[in-house]
């Protein structure tokens, strides 16, 4: 059997255990707070295979970005990325897990509605590494409804790298008004550890990664669509600019 087949089997067996209580708790958190830890959805063997691939891909294909977008109020994006195209071309674990049926089923139960692979390929998955002092994925919303984030490496909370979010907010690309959103609703902060996963309703939850100082943080972000996303027209300014080899600075 191929390595990938063994991983699928591990995943399937893992999700056939009684995870109903964990799903129910995550579903409750998700509906109230727009985000929930779902670290129970993958076994250690799968997390380890994904981490090995991510570490390798960052080494061979990671590209530094230093950008800010008008559509999100010029909040900073300082990071190293590996794009969906590179991940699919050079690896097999991340792209294989992205469409794994048992995973999609559990995510749909947590979300309380069907979770679909993203119809716009560049937003399907991306690897992000924060490694220099001040590296951050600044305040933003995502175009598609859901994100599943796999945490491969994360510094201690004192060194940053934790996630902050404001559920129940919406993205007006002409007038993002990030600070207005920050002062009008509670900000939730989520400590993360290597091996954690979280699901977020990213189109209506303003979110960011607190700047790192001294540590290193590596994640895979998998973007997913809701049923209503599948029939909506999107513009993709921030992603298209993130993936173009744009020079540092405002774009």
Kindly state whether residue 136 participates in binding ligand AKG, applying the rule CB under 6 A: no
| Side-chain half-sphere CA neighbours of 98 within 13 A | 27
* Interface map 175-214 toward ligand AKG (x if CB under 6 A): --------------------------------x-x-----
Q: How far is CA 58 from CA 45, 49, 51, 199, in A?
A: 20, 14, 11, 23
Q: Which residues contact 194 (CB under 8 A, 6 or more apart)?
A: 51, 151, 152, 153, 154
DSSP code of 229? G
Strand partners, 101: none
Among 163, 172, 152, 241, CA closest to 207: 163
Which CB, 166 or 219, lies closer to ligand AKG? 219
Rounded Cα distance between 238 and 105, Å, is: 29
* Interface map 101-130 toward ligand AKG (x if CB under 6 A): -------------------------x-x--
Kindly state whether residue 54 participates in binding ligand AKG, applying the rule CB under 6 A: no
Q: Binding residue for ligand AKG (CB under 6 A) from 38, 54, 103, 219?
A: 219
* Interface map 2-31 toward ligand AKG (x if CB under 6 A): ------------------------------
Contacting residues toward Fe ion, per CB under 5 A: 142
- Taking CB atoms, the residue at the shortest distance from ligand AKG is 221
| Side-chain half-sphere CA neighbours of 19 within 13 A | 23
Kindly state whether residue 149 participates in binding ligand AKG, applying the rule CB under 6 A: yes
Which CB, 7 or 209, lies closer to ligand AKG? 209
Cβ(68)–Cβ(249) under 8 Å?
A: yes
The residues binding ligand AKG (CB under 6 A) are 126, 128, 137, 142, 149, 163, 207, 209, 219, 221
């Amino acid at each position: 059997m191929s390595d990938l087949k063994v991983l699928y089997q591990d995943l399937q067996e893992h999700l056939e255990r009684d995870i109903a209580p964990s799903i129910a708790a995550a579903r409750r958190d998700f509906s109230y707070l727009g985000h929930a830890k779902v670290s129970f959805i993958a076994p250690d063997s799968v997390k380890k295979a994904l981490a090995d691939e991510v570490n390798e891909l960052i080494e061979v294909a990671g590209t530094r970005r230093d950008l800010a977008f008008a559509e999100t109020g010029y909040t900073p994006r300082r990071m190293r990325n590996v794009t969906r195209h590179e991940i699919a071309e050079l690896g097999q674990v991340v792209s294989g897990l992205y469409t794994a049926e048992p995973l999609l089923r559990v995510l749909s139960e947590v979300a309380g509605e069907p979770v679909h692979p993203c119809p716009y390929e560049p937003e399907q998955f991306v690897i992000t590494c924060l490694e220099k002092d001040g590296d951050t994925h600044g305040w933003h919303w995502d175009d598609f409804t859901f994100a599943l984030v796999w945490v491969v490496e994360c510094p201690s909370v004192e060194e940053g790298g934790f996630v902050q979010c404001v559920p129940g907010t919406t993205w007006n690309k002409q007038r993002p008004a990030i600070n207005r959103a920050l002062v009008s609703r509670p900000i939730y902060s989520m400590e993360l550890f290597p091996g954690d996963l979280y699901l977020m309703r990213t189109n209506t939850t303003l979110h960011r990664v607190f700047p790192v100082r001294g540590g290193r943080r590596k994640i895979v972000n998998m973007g997913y669509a809701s049923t209503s996303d599948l029939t909506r027209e999107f513009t993709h300014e921030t992603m298209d600019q993130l993936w173009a080899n744009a020079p540092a600075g405002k774009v």
